[in-house]
Amino acid sequence: MGSVGAKEVPVLLSPEGIRVDGRRLDELRPLRVVAGPLHRADGSAFVEWGANKVMAAVYGPREVHPRHLQQNNKAIVQCKYNMAAFSVDERKRPGLDRRSQEISKVIAEAFESVIFAEEYPRTSIDVYIEVLQANAGTRCAGLVAASVALADAGIPMADLVPAVAVGKVAGEIVLDLNKAEDNFGEADLPMALVPQSGRLVLLQMEGHMTREELSRALDMGVKGCHVIYDKMKAALRDRYSAARPTEVAA
Ligand code: CDP
């Protein structure tokens, strides 16, 4: 442990290139995706990703509230990302703060680029993301959960949207930052990919890195997104193959 003022700074990388939680530089945290755990929503998904726990629920296409947001030629996509008061170390003040508003907006925009909104004019597709436990990367976990929830709700989309943060920690480019790496690392760069087209639909960066590092970070993130994509598809397959025995019996 080193120290900066009163704050203890953990050693983020061992001489062998092993991270604080035992991962290699390009290794994801353990990820579990469950499709359809909630029965009152049109679609839902639960994501446990490292120490993050995130639930997403989708309603729609349904009537637009508030009404003046209605668009005659397409559905609107509304997203509400919320962190539970008990999701972080220091109790988070409940309600919409600027960070939650920003995350809700960028997630809605990411989905607007894949949802076939023209098929449902004058309606709203509502995405709710509840972060129950946070440990960095919650906007990406939220995107992954919401994406599976949208598919579970049967919303027509060009593709799922896997997401992951890449960054720079102790001088190295790393995949999927945890909280210590997010707090004490040099850069944090969440991104979301549409795998079939190769398009990025969310890209944000805090901190600093060179253009060459940025290029490596993007490559690492794209690879990570493909691994996450496979888990998302597997979760949906599990959900719908679970219904099959009844069909066979009938
Ligand atoms: O979660 P994400 O990395 O997408 O967003 P961030 O703004 O970079 O936040 C990083 C982490 O800081 C969160 O995942 C939480 O663990 C933590 N955080 C917190 O402890 N209290 C807040 N009010 C906001 C974030």
Best CA proximity match to 142, nearest among 11, 47, 219, 76: 47
Q: Is the pLDDT of residue 232 over 50?
A: yes
Tell me if 139 CB under 6 Å of ligand 1.
Answer: yes
Least confident of 32-46, 84-98, 108-122, 221-235: 84-98
How high is the pLDDT of residue 244? 53
How high is the pLDDT of residue 4? 47
How high is the pLDDT of residue 243? 58
DSSP alpha helices (H): ranges in the chain? Answer: 98-112, 138-152, 179-184, 211-241, 244-249
Distance between alpha carbon 27 and the CA centroid of its chain, in Å?
A: 17
* Domains (range + CATH), the chain: 23-236 (3.30.230.70)
Best CA proximity match to 111, nearest among 52, 155, 70: 155
Please tell me the residue having the least CA distance from ligand 1 atom 17. Answer: 136
The rounded Å distance from CA 135 to ligand 1 centre is 7
Best CA proximity match to 12, nearest among 222, 185, 205, 210: 185
The rounded Å distance from CA 182 to ligand 1 centre is 8
Best CA proximity match to 77, nearest among 127, 144, 41: 127
Identify the band that residue 25 occupies on the pLDDT scale cut at 50, 70 and 90.
Answer: very high
Work out the average pLDDT over 109-137: 98
What DSSP assignment string belongs to 91-117? -PPSS--HHHHHHHHHHHHHHHTTB-G
How high is the pLDDT of residue 132? 98
Share of the chain above pLDDT 70, in %: 94
How high is the pLDDT of residue 206? 97
Work out the average pLDDT over 126-141: 98
Distances (CA, A) of 149 to 57, 173, 179, 184: 6, 31, 25, 33
Q: Is the pLDDT of residue 248 over 60?
A: no
Q: pTM to 2 decimals?
A: 0.94
149-208 pLDDT, tens digit per residue, is 999 999 999 999 999 999 999 999 999 999 999 999 999 999 999 999 999 999 999 999
Q: Which amino acid is at 74?
A: K
How high is the pLDDT of residue 93? 83
pLDDT averaged over every residue in the chain: 94
137-157 pLDDT, tens digit per residue, is 999 999 999 999 999 999 999
Tell me if 48 CB under 6 Å of ligand 1.
Answer: no
Pocket test for ligand 1, best of 182, 189, 191, 205 (most atoms within 8 A of CB): 182
Work out the average pLDDT over 213-235: 98
How high is the pLDDT of residue 203? 98
